[in-house]
Chain A
Amino acid sequence: MGLQAYLTLAAVLFAIGLFGVVTRRNAIGILLGIELMLNAVNINLVAFARFWGDTAGMIFTLFTISITVAEVALGLALVILIFRVKRTVIADHLDILRG
């Protein structure tokens, strides 16, 4: 398979993730969407690294994965805190920044 198949998979995955982030009402669902988008980027990196024969992309993917783990842990902690204060995790209800 050529590079294009991987890129197409990544683009589709990214679009699905973005769709989830924009449409999900649950904050945890939004976090999942972000995960999907990040993994789409990971696929891109690995695909290009393999295609060009450059291991730098793979190493960057490792970095991304580890940072993503930290991000998810932080995001979930925030969601729990928000739930404690507001008794809800529905994104539409968290609009105190409304103008």
Chain B
Amino acid sequence: MSVSGWLALYAWLAPAVAFVLLSVVYGLRRSGRPAAWVSIALSAYALAAAVGAWWVARAEVSNRLLWDWIPMEAGPLASVGVLADADSTLMLILVALISFLVQLYSVGYLADETPASLGRYFAYQSLFAFSMMGLVLAPNFVQLFIFWELVGLCSYLLIGYWYQKPEAARAAVKAFWITKAGDVGLLIGIVLLWRRAGTFDFAELFQLVQTGALPLGGPGLVPLGIITFCIYLGAVGKSAQFPLHVWLPDAMEGPTPVSALIHAATMVTAGVYLLFRTSWLFALTPGVLELVGWVGAFTALLAATLACVQSDIKRVLAYSTVSQLGYMMAAIGAGFAVAGFHHLLTHGVFKALLFLGAGAVIHAVGSNDIFTMGGLWRKMPQTFIVFLVGTLSLAGIPAFGGFFSKEQILGAVFEGGLTAPLAMLVLTAFLTAFYMFRVVFIAFFGAAAPAAHGGGHGHEDGHAHDAPLVMAIPLWVLALLALAVGVMIIPHPAAEVESPHWLAFLAIGVALAGIGLAWLTYGAKVVDAERLSSAFGPIRAAAERRYWLDDLFGGIYRGVILALSRLVGWTDRYLVDGVVNLFSAWTLMAGDRLRRIQSGRPQDYIYGVALGVLLLMFFSLSRWPR
């Protein structure tokens, strides 16, 4: 009897119930607000069940619920169920919590939407929560892959929520395409792994790895390194690692709460979670792990430089998310997956907080551009405080959640012996503090810019104020959690990283230096921002063109994929259709010739009949002579 499994199952199915209700019950989805409250109530229930599952799972040994799905003679080929151990239920709480808070916040943020599209939004939100929980609780690769695709679908639907906007529709398609490119790798990896091991089940695979029954390679076998690399490809797409990170900044076209939930806290961390979940498998292939670490650190640094040149507040946060995902991957690459998982949890809380805070600002100001903001700390003191908590946490200042997990990652990478990635990550920490406080100093302090906008939420006079209560509550809850979560993370037996003390001081030092530089540049204006940026001339120019990666992908799309589809289209139109048309022309011609026989004169037919009878008589007499 697995209590935690059942509780997790209840948590998982609650959003599914909400989605089905919203989809099936006549008129409910179109009613708007009632639909929202149905969805919120069920996600609150899911949160409670998730906490219960976690509480029980910490002590429980049997934590699996399995049902056969594809039965075979030698045991089920695939099963569905719930694997509710201490790690997955912790992630489950994160998903349920952020999902609940974001849905609550959305009631205020999307108050101006029409009821029908609000209902659509909450149906998607429920579907996403269900899919993400299914991914988190998956006991095998098949279920994981199914829900992996489902969260991708929800991401597509929610990025394109304002589908009337061409940019949003394009961003949705771009996100779908690019993550799909990685997913193909994941699918190939899963199938290859199944051919090697004969099972999809995590527990059985773990058993095989433990007993050493899964050799690295051999004659006629696919090397294990290729399999783990393929699985890693899925994580590259989903978790926005270089070079497939280009979809995430564009995904900011969706509503801000969606960005907070899907593109900061939960879905984009699915790749990290996958690697954490199968870290024992990756441990067999150190080469791939080292690649994970290098790519992660490089992504972190690249995205941090990109974040420094953005003026859109959501894009800064998006690049920061990419950067922090790189951090998590670096820790996993160093062999300390638990450190990456801890950063996933703390990052989920404080990045959701930052996004929701940014949403409150955008809601009040009516623009994403930080240079049209300014002096907001006086107008929106509550938002300022919670945003500052999130920023300090992201910058890695002690006593805030992000500090502990970030320091753990640096220690892990140091222990893993990845020296160059460590240097990149330290530099990233400096840049992170810099670009976040750049936003704070420009948007919240600075001179109030002239109101060159229509104002959000009907403030035509440009008078911004704090968010309504329904939006403020999630902000405060997340701010308190961001303060507490770093301390509260249950010490994991494998998380004890023996890192030297100077590393912690180094991390704090570079963070403070970043804040200081941001203050000098944008706060006190001692350093001229233009001169500072022109000092990094080529890098800045490259960063403003996003390192030409979007151009590269655009070129590949236009040059290769479109050319290929034109070729295929030409082949279909002229070769395939040509053969078919030739046959039909022959048929027509034969029919045209044959119809001349039908003269319409009865005498001709009688003549034919008589001739036929004569012939039959002749043949029958000649075959059977008397």
Contacts and interface: CB of A to CB of B under 8 A. Distances in A.
Interface of A: 18, 21-23, 30, 91-92, 94-99
Contacts of B598: 97-99
B610 A92 contact: no
Interface string B419-435: 00000000000000000
A94 B607 CA distance: 16
B596 interface: yes
B599 A95 contact: yes
Contact of B603 (A22, A96, A98, A99): A22
A7 to B, nearest CB: 15
A22 B595 contact: no
A98 B599 contact: yes
Interface residues of B, number: 12
A23 to B, nearest CB: 8
A18 B610 CA distance: 8
A91 B601 contact: yes
B600 A22 contact: no
A23 B584 CA distance: 39
6 contacts: A18-B610, A92-B601, A92-B603, A94-B601, A95-B601, A97-B598
Contacts of A22: 603, 606-607, 610
| B interface SS class | helix
Given A18-B606, A18-B610, A91-B603, 11 more contacts: A21-B606, A22-B603, A22-B610, A30-B603, A91-B602, A94-B600, A94-B601, A95-B599, A95-B600, A98-B598, A98-B601
A71 to B, nearest CB: 15
B621 interface: no
A99 B596 contact: yes
B597 interface: yes
Interface centre among B597, B598, B601 (most CB of A within 10 A): B601
B616 to A, nearest CB: 15
Contact of A98 (B600, B606, B607, B610): B600
A-B residue pairs, 3 tightest by C-beta = A99-B598, A98-B600, A95-B600
B606 A99 contact: no
A96 B610 contact: no
A76 B600 CA distance: 20
A8 B598 CA distance: 35
B600 A99 contact: yes
Interface string B278-308: 0000000000000000000000000000000
A47 to B, nearest CB: 20
Interface centre among A96, A97, A99 (most CB of B within 10 A): A99
Contacts of B607: 22
A99 B597 contact: yes
A92 B604 CA distance: 10
A96 B606 CA distance: 17
Interface string B573-600: 0000000000000000000000111111
Interface centre among A22, A91, A92, A95 (most CB of B within 10 A): A22
A99 B610 contact: no
Nearest to B597: A99
Nearest to B600: A98
A30 B601 CA distance: 12
A95 B603 CA distance: 10
Interface string B309-349: 00000000000000000000000000000000000000000
A99 B601 contact: no
Contacts of A99: 595-600
Nearest to A24: B603
Contacts of A96: 600
A94 B600 CA distance: 8
